[in-house]
Amino acid sequence: MGVQEKPASAFEKLTARYDAWYDTAHGQLLFDLELACLRPLLPPGPGPRLEVGVGSGRFAAALGLGVGVDPALAPLRLAAGRAVAVVQGAGERLPFGDRTFGAVVVVATLCFADDPAALLGEARRVLVPSGRLVAGVVPLDSALGRHYEAQGLAGHPFYRGARFLTLAEHRRMLADAGFTISGACSTLTQAPSDDPVGEQVHEVVVPGAGFVALQARPWPSPEGPAPRRRRASQLHVASATDSPAPGLSRRADDEEAS
């Protein structure tokens, strides 16, 4: 089914509401914390950088990502107004050639994609071999993930369309798509609250953190993109502690929960 044939998503219909949340005190606080998690994981290298599921372009603009793709047209218009070059399309079928981008960023989008595994496979395809994927996720095995899931079950217009996954499921999906985790940051370790005080950014995955940013590099493959769905048993599933991202230090006892 083509992108155009699908019913309009909540992000299409409620764009202004979604985007305005970032201007609330709570939204600004969470945005700043999440941005501080994502920023150090972005590779410094050259090459265009893409956000998949760019929405209204808040993160893309703040992170200097030049290109954004999203199936929803209304948020793309806002992203374009934030100086992001936008393309309408789905992450499962990215409208870009192989090995195009130095970085692909995916924030709060894997849980909304019809096929997050296919989206990651496409992200790997469009990355140059030395590129990096940076994925920001709300794990289901966190107080915030459970809170959002409960809101979805109660009919929340955005979260009812989400399928939240645990951190271990994200790690497995990344490995299946041909990625090795090469860095991580996390934040929102407290119970969800309208006024979180003292939240910090950790250069590791704190178990139970409500926002986790994972940096992943394509698994080396001389003959091109990795097969889409290799069996997990054939793969090296790296810990986020294997090799810190540039600029990140990591304590030896910081082990990612999975």
Ligand X SMILES: C[S@@+](CC[C@H](N)C(=O)[O-])C[C@H]1O[C@@H](n2cnc3c(N)ncnc32)[C@H](O)[C@@H]1O
Which parts of this chain interact with ligand X (CB under 6 A)? 9, 11, 52-55, 58-59, 70-72, 75, 90-92, 107-109, 112-114, 119
Q: Return the closest-CA partner of residue 46 out of 126, 128, 134, 123.
A: 128
As a dihedral over the C-alpha atoms of residue 208, residue 54, residue 120, residue 150, rounded to 10 degrees, the angle is: 40
Task: Report d(CA 124, CA 153) in Å as an integer.
Answer: 32
Of the chain, the end-to-end C-alpha distance in Å amounts to 35
Q: How far is the CB of 229 from ligand X (least distance, A)?
A: 18
Residue 99 Cβ, how far from ligand X at the closest point, in Å?
20
The smaller minimum CB distance to ligand X, of residues 58 and 124, is found at 58
SS3 state of residue 167: helix
CB of 234 to ligand X, least distance (A): 27
- Local structure of 74: helix, strand or coil: helix
Separation between Cα atoms, residue 180 and residue 176, nearest integer Å: 10
| Cβ-based neighbour number of residue 108 at 10 Å | 18
Nearer Cβ to ligand X (113/177): 113
Nearer to ligand X, 134 or 238 (CB): 134
Provide, rounded to whole angstroms, the least separation between the CB of residue 43 and ligand X. 19
Residue closest to ligand X, measured at CB = 55
- Closer to ligand X by CB, 23 or 255: give it: 23
| Beta carbons within 10 angstroms of residue 155's beta carbon | 8
Q: Which residues are 230's β-sheet partners?
A: none
Query: Minimum Å distance from CB 136 to ligand X?
Result: 7
Q: In this complex, which beta carbon is closest to ligand X, that of residue 139 or of residue 244?
A: 139
